Chains A and B, each alone.
Chain A
Amino acid sequence: MKKKWLSYPYIIWMLFFILIPLILVFFYSITIRTDEGLAFTLKQYKRFLEPIYIKVFIRSVYLALISTVLCLLLGYPMAMILAGRDFKKKNIMVLLFVIPMWMNFLLRTYAWMTLLERRGLINTFLSFIGLPSLNLLYTQEAVVLGMVYNFLPFMVLPIYSVLSKIDRQLIEAAEDLGANSFTIFRKIIFPLSLPGVTSGITMVFLPAVTTFVISRLLGGGQFTLIGNLIEQQFLYVGDWNFGSAISMIMMIVILLSMGVMSRYDKEHEGGGLW
């Protein structure tokens, strides 16, 4: 219990920079400015229940989910490779994984457009080897690609950091007892890496739900996501009340589902070892 003080700086920080802003957003979401002053209302929340907004919300969650699953499928093997013994310069490999993300986001996304366009590099290459060109840009797939590209390191790194120190003796013992590599993965490696996987999913899924620049650029503005909706309310319409209400709803829905997920995580934490 001597370690309690370690969390104090963070708790103070949180109260100031997370809790107060949260209260502010909540306050905006339940008030409305009338001629007589401020009035309390739940109108904003009701408004969100209209079919178009629900549609946008479902689409955002759907795209974010697909991106998260893809990140996990692509990222897990990569994390294993990075953590394994196959390559010597692990640190360098890990660093090389994040360096592309240090280039500005807008520039990277524009570069993707150059690759995906009708007359872009991928299509030029396809027609060069005699294949028909594809409609790549301005599709939902392009949006998902953009998300996977931008969030992949956030999946790989936490899984890598967990995998990198799994006790080798555990695996060797299992091998000695005659387990094949799939069983070892299923019974030992994967359960042990679960905390990393949970963190990875959190860091990919949550920001992916609210991203809006990717869908605007790679989706050609045709797929309004919840992030676009919120941005529009705050900046263009000036309706901070409705914008706040959308954020509050999203926050609650997502945190609730996170809660369900963390329960799942706990079940595995202790029992999944052997």
Chain B
Amino acid sequence: MVNRSLKKIYAILIYLFLYAPIIILVVFSFNASKSRGTWSGFTLKWYLELFRDRQIMKSLYYTMLVAILSSLIATIIGTAAAISIHKMKNFKKTIIMNLTYLPVVNPDIVTGLSLMILFIFTRFPLGFISLLLAHITFNIPYVILSVLPKLKQLDKHLYEAALDLGATPWYAYKKVILPEIMPGIITGLLLAFTLSVDDFVISFFTTGSGVSTLSITIYSMARRGINPKINALSTLLFLTVLLLLIIVNMRMSGESTKKEREI
């Protein structure tokens, strides 16, 4: 019992650490002053102004679109790649893994600029698609790195047993391997989404006119000071996600507990 409450306290402390800045951010979205330096009263004006801001709304749209698409596509390509990398022999595996580390180890500015030059050189128009391609590129390694450990953990005979029992390879995959590595895939998807939402440098250099992400909009506000409209937007997004979580949670508790264990 002591053990359990210790765990609880530890978890609470870690979550507090994670959410402390978020609380600050939410509080300051109601600050009448534009500055974080003073508190000059409660206001909702940033929320009202937010919806009138075309620039922010446009970037929100592209941010979401890029993040969702790139994390999904990266997860599909990355998971497939991880499965076959896992089967590879030493030498080949080393080369591929080292190349996979590159986008992770390279500074964003190098990745961003070299991709931009690649696009310009191949006459590929800079815009939404080039942005998406760039995001998928830096997302894939994280998916591979998330899925590989799960594959290493996998019982090698599971798949063969399924084949022996008459399953087609694809069916065996779907029913045996995928459920086993699902936590890794979900981890990869979540990390990819997170990276995509947060990226500034690579996005800045690989996008074209008319396509801007929230990060670009926010960083470019830096010289004049980040407008509290952004805090208001973040608060709303945060609440939306929380609300969704609660709804999903309630529906899930309604269903059988078997489903819960699946993820």
- A and B in direct contact, judged by CB atoms within 8 A: yes
Which residues of chain B come closer than 8 Å to A81, judged between CB atoms?
Answer: 7, 10-11
In this complex, how many residues of chain B approach chain A with their Cβ under 8 Å: the count is 93
Contact between B145 and A202 (Cβ–Cβ < 8 Å)? yes
Are the C-beta atoms of B14 and A13 separated by less than 8 Å?
Answer: no
* A interface, CB within 8 angstroms of B: 1-7, 9-11, 13-14, 16-22, 24-25, 74, 77-78, 81, 84, 86-87, 89, 91-115, 121, 149, 152-154, 157-158, 160-162, 164-166, 192, 195-196, 198-199, 202-203, 206-207, 209-210, 212, 226-227, 230-231, 234-235, 240, 243-244, 247, 250-251, 254-255, 258-259, 262, 269
State whether A25 touches B114 (Cβ < 8 A): yes
Q: A97-B18, A102-B197, A247-B110 are in contact. Are A21 and B118 (CB under 8 A)?
A: yes
Contact of A158 among B25, B109, B140, B145 (CB under 8 A): B145
Contacts of B230 in A (CB 8 A): 104, 107
B contact patch SS? helix
Could you say which of B17, B103, B106, B263 contacts A91, with CB atoms under 8 Å apart? B263
Residue of B nearest to A28 (CB): B114
Bound Cα distance from A1 to B87, whole angstroms: 8
The answer on a CB contact under 8 Å between B110 and A111 is: no
B21 within 8 A of A: yes
Indicate if B241 sits at the interface (CB-CB under 8 A).
Answer: yes
**Which of chain A's residues have a CB closer than 8 A to the CB of B24?**
111, 114-115, 121
B61 at the interface (CB under 8 A from A): no
B18: chain A residues within 8 A (beta carbon): 97, 100, 149, 152
Tell me whether A230 and B22 are in contact in the complex, defined as CB-CB below 8 angstroms, given that A6-B81, A105-B200, A149-B17 are known contacts. no
**A17 close to B218 (CB less than 8 A):** no
Binding site for A on B (CB under 8 A): 4, 7-8, 10-11, 14-15, 17-22, 24-25, 28, 36, 77-78, 80-81, 83-85, 87-88, 94, 96-111, 113-115, 117-118, 133-134, 136-137, 140, 142, 144-146, 148-150, 152-153, 169, 180, 183-184, 186-187, 190-191, 193-194, 197-198, 200, 214-215, 218-219, 222, 226, 230-231, 234, 237-238, 241-242, 245, 249, 252, 260, 263
> In the assembly, what is the distance between CA of A234 and CA of B15, in Å?
38
Taking CB atoms, residues of chain B closer than 8 Å to A152 are: 18
Contact between chains at A154 and B191 (CB < 8 Å): yes
Contact B81 A18 (CB under 8 A): no
Shortest 3 CB-CB contacts between residues of A and residues of B: A10-B81, A21-B114, A195-B149
The answer to whether A100 touches B21 (Cβ under 8 A) is yes
Known: A13-B137, A203-B145, A206-B104. A3 touches B77 (CB 8 A): no
Q: What is the CA–CA distance of A209 and B106 in the complex, to the nearest angstrom?
A: 9
Residues in B whose Cβ lies below 8 Å from that of A105: 198, 200, 215
Kindly state the separation between the CA atoms of A24 and B88 in the bound complex, as whole angstroms. Answer: 28
Between A11, A109, A158, A226, the greatest number of chain B beta carbons within 10 A of the residue's beta carbon is seen for: A158
Contacts of A18 in B (CB 8 A): 99-100, 102-103, 137
Contacts of A199 in B (CB 8 A): 145-146, 148-149
Contact A195–B22 (Cβ < 8 Å)? no
In the assembled complex, the Cα of A9 lies from the Cα of B222 at a distance in Å of: 39
Q: When the two chains form the complex, which single residue of A78, A104, A269 contacts B218, counting CB atoms closer than 8 Å? A: A104
Q: What residue of chain B has the Cβ atom nearest to residue A78's Cβ?
A: B14
A78 and B11 in contact (CB under 8 A), knowing A103-B22, A104-B234, A198-B149?
yes
Chain B residues lying within 8 Å of A195, measured Cβ to Cβ, are 148-150, 152-153
Whole-angstrom distance between the Cβ of A82 and the nearest chain B Cβ: 8
Contacts of B96 in A (CB 8 A): 7, 11, 14
**Which residue of A is nearest B170, CB measured?**
A2
Find the A residue at minimum CB distance from B198: A105
Residues of chain B lying within 8 A (CB to CB) of residue A97: 15, 18
Assuming the contacts A202-B101, A203-B191, A207-B104, asked whether A17 and B109 have C-beta atoms less than 8 A apart, the reply is no
Interfacial chain B residues near A254, Cβ < 8 Å:
105
Distance between B198 CB and nearest chain A CB, rounded to angstroms: 5
| Shortest Cβ distance from residue B239 to the other chain A in the assembled complex, whole angstroms | 11
